[in-house]
Structure 1
Amino acid sequence: MTWSASQYSRFEAERTRPVRDLVAAIPNAGIQTGIDLGCGPGNSTEVLQQRYPDAQVTGLDNDEDMLAAARKRSPGTTFQWADIGTWSAPSPVDVILANASLQWLPDHATLYPRLLAQLAPGGSLAIQTPDNLQEPAHVLAREVAASAQFSSRIGTIRHPPRHDIQWYYALLKPLSGHVDTWRTTYMHPLAGHQAVVEWFKGSALRPYLSQLDDAGKEEYLQRYLQEIGKAYPVMDDGTVLLPFPRLFIVATR
């Protein structure tokens, strides 16, 4: 299931705003090393490097298209291929940033404490994940996949389970000196229903589309567009406001 850096970056300003909010909340005044887990096209790594210009910041991802885009964007920053689900730091690091990446991985009960344990004393683990599995865009993606037309091919596909903010706080507080958590719903103004579809083509729809041939993808996207049109109202100027809730965690050792 490959990524498309260009598709993902079509809404870069909207996708980067949450990581700016997240990085601004990291309490460390200065650091020597920082890791961006699941760096994508490098926008999140750039934000981390701007916050800590003197640090050695490394972006990690397992998609070559994303890494190529990141290296082009920030040629002075190190980007490496890595499986972020199994990655281990060769030595303790000061900040681990994971912006909109860990929701693709299972078993957060094991993953999050393992990442926290790789921090140096006083280091921070900063995580942002979408909290939108029950939003219409996700619900409709599952419903279209489960319809008679598609059920035999993609009807059983599910995103890895996520948890509420209380669950994550309870998991990390005993292992941390301080845990800061919050939830924000961003209201993204998009240019109509097709823009909503394009947004999710770059993220949530990928598991479904990757299992379909070209004709199947077109049919799925047309059905999805029809349902999105019923679920999200259009304002007088043609704008669709897309609510997008996200969870934020900054756990400091």
Structure 2
Amino acid sequence: MTSSHTPHAWDPERYLAYADERGRPFVDLVARIEAAAPARVVDLGCGPGNLTTLLKERWPDADVAGVDSSPEMIERASAIDGIAWEVGDLRAWATPDPLALPARVDVLVSNATLQWVPEHLELLPGLLDRVAPGGWFAFQVPGNFDEPSHTLRTGLAAQEPYAEHARDARVPSSHGPADYARVLLDLGCEVDAWETTYLHVLTGDDPVFAWVSGTGARPTLQALPDDLRPRFEEEFKASLREAYPADAAGRVVLPFRRIFVVARKGA
């Protein structure tokens, strides 16, 4: 995915460390899609592909494809048979070459991806245009960017000696469910939008850091030089331990708000 931000590489193994917790919102999202027998299904921002397999299980007769901007993620996903995998840019999907006339899809799913694309609200019409009449467009984004797991990282990264290195690191963001619903309603869709706060029970050493270092904090961490990154990580871990204290049994409860939208395009 082209960007003016500092590029970074994803680590599928680190991302999959909390596969069950990260997968539950995907399951809850797809459960609201009422497509009976779609011919073509696309997971846009498929990551390592472990959740895309659920789409194939749900619609075994459909042609299912997974698209992600990360070559590392697609390389990991390519070990899964029965699904077409592709390195691709979400923004290219939203603004395709008008001469290419790409095929429309019956179900377009995007799970925890749009938050990485600046001004993604403006891309919704283009993404919806890739959906066939009567088809489904469903996506989920985190809505917890005002929580300490994010604000502590942002505040620390703004301090020297980190700021000069981290200022161009990609930072995710999202909108409220009503914002997404209005755009899609104005485009003639039937829309179901909601939010859910999950309470993830984490264990182990610095589990909140382990969680965020695989997703939201990863671009910041990779933007730092090797001699500064350990210092930043230790300061960040200390502040996260204070914000999310473990109980006597060593458990940390991490509230995580998610925003869901399921839209059916007009026929």
In structure 1, the residue matched to 2:48 is 41
Q: Is 1:60 aligned with 2:67?
A: yes
Amino acid at match of 1:144: L
Which of 60, 85, 88 is equivalent to 2:91? 85
Q: Is the 8 A contact 1:140 1:227 kept in 2?
A: yes
Question: Which one has the bigger helix percentage?
Answer: 1
1:252 to partner: Cα distance: 0.6
What percent identity do the matched residue pairs reach?
39
Which runs of 5 or more residues in structure 1 are unaligned? none
83-92 or 41-50: bigger deviation: 83-92
Amino acid at match of 2:39: Q
Residues 33-83 of structure 1, C-alpha deviation per residue, up to 9 Å, x if partnerless?
0011011000221121111111000000121211121121x2221101111
32-41 or 168-177: bigger deviation: 168-177
Which of 193, 196, 207 is equivalent to 2:219? 207
Which runs of 5 or more residues in structure 2 are unaligned? 1-7
In the alignment, the residues of structure 1 paired with residue 173 and residue 241 of structure 2 have an alpha-carbon distance, to the nearest angstrom, of: 27
Q: Is 1:19 aligned with 2:26?
A: yes
Amino acid at match of 1:78: A
Q: Is the 8 A contact 1:193 1:225 kept in 2?
A: no
Q: What TM-score, normalized to structure 2?
A: 0.90
Amino acid at match of 2:198: Y
SS at match of 1:7: helix
Q: Is the 8 A contact 2:169 2:223 kept in 1?
A: no
Which of 55, 59, 76 is equivalent to 1:69? 76
Amino acid at match of 2:58: R
Query: Counterparts in 2 of 1:99-118, with a 5 A limit?
Result: 99-118=111-130
Q: Is the 8 A contact 1:193 1:240 kept in 2?
A: no
In the alignment, the residues of structure 2 paired with residue 176 and residue 12 of structure 1 have an alpha-carbon distance, to the nearest angstrom, of: 35
33-42 or 185-194: bigger deviation: 185-194
1:133 to partner: Cα distance: 0.8
In structure 1, the residue matched to 2:192 is 180
SS at match of 1:86: helix
In the alignment, the residues of structure 2 paired with residue 147 and residue 26 of structure 1 have an alpha-carbon distance, to the nearest angstrom, of: 44
In structure 2, the residue matched to 1:153 is 165
SS at match of 2:9: coil
In the alignment, the residues of structure 2 paired with residue 154 and residue 132 of structure 1 have an alpha-carbon distance, to the nearest angstrom, of: 21
In the alignment, the residues of structure 2 paired with residue 155 and residue 66 of structure 1 have an alpha-carbon distance, to the nearest angstrom, of: 25
C-alpha RMSD of the superposition: 1.5
In the alignment, the residues of structure 2 paired with residue 241 and residue 193 of structure 1 have an alpha-carbon distance, to the nearest angstrom, of: 14
